[in-house]
Structure 1
Amino acid sequence: MKFVVSSTELLSHLQAISRVISNKNTLPILDNFLFELKNDELVATASDLESTLITTIPLDSSVGEGVIAFPAKILTDTLKEFPEQPLTFDIDLTSLAVKITSENGVFSIVGQNGEDFPKLPQREESGIVDITVDSDVLLTGVNKTLFATADDELRPVMNGIFIELGNNDLTFVASDAHKLVRYKRLDGRSEVESSFILPKKPASLLRNILPKEENPVKVEFDDKNAFFTLSNYKLICRLVEGNYPSYNSVIPKNNPNVLTIDRVELYNTLKRVSVFSNPASNLIKFELKTNELVVSAQDIDFSISARERLQCEYEGQELEIGFKSVFLLEILSNISSANVMVELSDPTRAGIFLPYDNENADEDVLMLLMPMMINA
């Protein structure tokens, strides 16, 4: 078989799917891309058994049909060095010899038998749930929650994004037991109420390919796998098995103490003050009084401390509460509004972080952070 393809177009697609390939593959064939040529299109596949990413590349011209596995690293490393030009791939399916012809040279590679590549998971038609989601809704949902997922081998359900389909909204939830993010979209609805847990790796793969997508994304899932169909890509991934914890029960309801402050100003203050915190705990202390926030940190071991005073709007009792600065900075950097609202009840209960002014009326963002003992 033989085909002609643009070097930069091929590289762009292969770089996107190459993120699936693991450095510790148990099967050597998984270090390869699977190329399938049919109907003047090249279908390239990469997999690590848990996740599979497929892309379709339009061709300038092609002859014949067939499948072959290509060494991924050699191919992407070579394509990076080509300027934009047509490349001709001439493949002998009997010997698996591949000849790549550019404007000025010829490159030879030996492929592997494409039949050895693992077969794709098939959908269970009986229990399949499908929904069509705007690409920007899916992208924002993943972006807002991915940072809050856990790395917990004992509780694998916490290592993914919980996606809940409702009649009135679409909800994305992630938590590592220290912080929790709940992102609701009122413009994403499903006829069937259902849910699944999307693992961290396919979520980050989606985050990489969704910005280029202009059309709605078809999402299908059964008990074991999820299938995301985009214009030029298809992602198939194994879901996390198990039941996600009841996240609504950990969100404090009555929070009489409310702080409203400039988000960027607070973020910059935290960056400065956190330098002086204990590296082991990263403890930052908030002292709240009427229209005043004092942010402080100290490291007794090195006799260093920092303290900054900020103007704010604060309604409630005088309060002292501690937070881990690393988590606090992550939360503030993932809220997009100019001002942030922090709702607190007491120093032992979680603080709720909300955007003060929502640019999108269909968005509902809530971030929660557990406090730290100040005198620990």
Structure 2
Amino acid sequence: MRFTLSSTALSSKLIALSRVINSKNSLPILSDFVFEVEGNTLKLTASDSENMIKTSVELNESDEDGSFAIGNHDLLEAVKGFSEQPLTFEVDRSSNLAKIVYQNGQFSLSIESADEFPQALQVGEGASTITIGSDLLGDCINRSIFATAQGELRPVMNGLYFDLTPECLSIVATDSQRLVRNKVFAVSSDVPASFILPKKPATLLKNMLGKDVSEVTIRFDERNAEITFDDCIIICRLIEGRYPNYNAVIPLNNPNHLTVDRVALLSALRRVQPFASSSNLVRFHIENSVLQLDAEDYDFSKTATERMACDYNGLPMSIGFNGSSFIDMLSNFECQDIVIQLADPSRSGVLVPSEQPEGQDVLMLLMPMLLNE
């Protein structure tokens, strides 16, 4: 079997596929890329057994159809260093070798039978479907994924929750201390449906989705999801279980509203937070039109205080927040001004942009920390 294709086209596809491959695999063949030639199209596949990515690239020429598996590391290291040029694969399945010929040389790698590669997970015929813009989905994932949990105690929190209702699609992440909820009003369904997307395929999507107007189609059932965009398909196993009632923890009315420049607050927190103790506690004191940030670590005799102007319409208040978590939240907004909605020092604070993105409702929530007065 012999075929020729662009080196840069192959390299970009293999780099994207390599992100799904684990450094250690239960099956040795999961360290391979699968190459499948059909006519003038090369189909490429990589998997870690629970997540699979499929993509394709056009061939300049090919003499026959066929398939094989080839180790990812050596091939990727070789082809990603090439400038744009044609690469010719000469595959001899009788000797299990693939010779790759380029302008100034060649190299050979061993191959395996593609028949040993695990089959893709299947999504049932009665699957639900979501269609959403690539840029919109990418924004929601970027904005939310930091708030997913990492522990084994409640695995349902280790992914993003997609909640499809007659009103909208909500994309939610929480680790019980912080929560992000994105409402997308352009996507809805008369028949409610939901699923929990694990963090790894969500991260793959975040890295692969483009900032364009193309669409992403997500088909899902109770166990698996198939996500199609551009010339790629991600097939993954979903997290099974019941997601927490996230709406129940969002306050309906926090009467004290603090409006402040997001970038200025983010910069101030980054200066103050390193002076906090191991708990990362930063004290927010708001009175009149002044926000004061305080951090202290008496074990190492260090403290920090910074004041900044704000717009505040509530009673004087001191409330403690995890400085690192607050920085994460501010970093994942894109607005100029942020509105912090507060009730009292024992209740969660809600962060919303001063102007919501078009067609969306974005909200972040952070539980307070106990202050030692």
For this structure pair, what is the TM-score category when the shorter chain's length is used for normalisation?
Answer: over 0.9
Q: Which range moved further: 212-221 or 234-243? A: 212-221
Count of matched residue pairs? 373
Q: What letter matches 1:98 in structure 2?
A: A
Residue 304 of structure 1 deviates from its aligned partner by 1.4
Q: Which 5+ residue runs of structure 1 have no aligned equivalent?
A: none
Deviation readout 1:289-321 (Å, 9 max, x if unpaired): 111111111111122111111111111111110
What is the alpha-carbon distance in structure 2 between the residues aligned to residue 330 and residue 295 of structure 1? 17
What is the alpha-carbon distance in structure 1 between the residues aligned to residue 264 and residue 87 of structure 2? 52
Q: What letter matches 2:195 in structure 1?
A: F
The two structures have a TM-score, normalised by structure 1, of: 0.97
What is the alpha-carbon distance in structure 1 between the residues aligned to residue 91 and residue 166 of structure 2? 51
Q: Does 2:87 correspond to 1:87?
A: yes
What is the alpha-carbon distance in structure 2 between the residues aligned to residue 67 and residue 223 of structure 1? 32
Gap change, CA 1:13 and 1:212, over 3 Å in 2: farther
Which residue in 1 is equivalent to 2:166?
167
Deviation readout 1:194-229 (Å, 9 max, x if unpaired): 000000000000011111664211110011100011
Q: Which 5+ residue runs of structure 2 have no aligned equivalent?
A: none
Match of residue 361, structure 1, among 341, 353, 358: 358
The two structures have a TM-score, normalised by structure 2, of: 0.98
Which residue in 2 is equivalent to 1:178?
177
What is the alpha-carbon distance in structure 1 between the residues aligned to residue 117 and residue 213 of structure 2? 31
Residue 95 of structure 1 deviates from its aligned partner by 2.2
Which residue in 1 is equivalent to 2:63?
63
Deviation readout 1:235-267 (Å, 9 max, x if unpaired): 000000001000011112221111000111111
Match of residue 302, structure 2, among 286, 301, 304: 304
What is the alpha-carbon distance in structure 1 between the residues aligned to residue 255 and residue 106 of structure 2? 72
Residue 361 of structure 1 deviates from its aligned partner by 2.8
Match of residue 369, structure 2, among 361, 368, 372: 372
Q: Does 2:27 correspond to 1:27?
A: yes
What is the alpha-carbon distance in structure 1 between the residues aligned to residue 61 and residue 262 of structure 2? 54
Q: Contact (CA 8 Å) 2:135, 2:211: kept in 1 or not?
A: no
Which residue in 2 is equivalent to 1:338?
336
Residue 167 of structure 1 deviates from its aligned partner by 2.2
Q: Contact (CA 8 Å) 1:213, 1:230: kept in 2 or not?
A: no
Residue 104 of structure 1 deviates from its aligned partner by 1.3
Supply the RMSD in Å over aligned alpha carbons: 1.2
Q: Contact (CA 8 Å) 2:148, 2:173: kept in 1 or not?
A: yes
Gap change, CA 1:91 and 1:212, over 3 Å in 2: farther
Q: Contact (CA 8 Å) 1:283, 1:297: kept in 2 or not?
A: yes
SS in 1 for 2:42: strand
Q: Does 2:265 correspond to 1:266?
A: yes
Which residue in 1 is equivalent to 2:284?
286
Deviation readout 1:65-108 (Å, 9 max, x if unpaired): 11100100011000122111000001112222101110111211
SS in 1 for 2:210: helix
Q: Contact (CA 8 Å) 1:277, 1:299: kept in 2 or not?
A: yes
SS in 2 for 1:26: coil
Which residue in 2 is equivalent to 1:193?
192
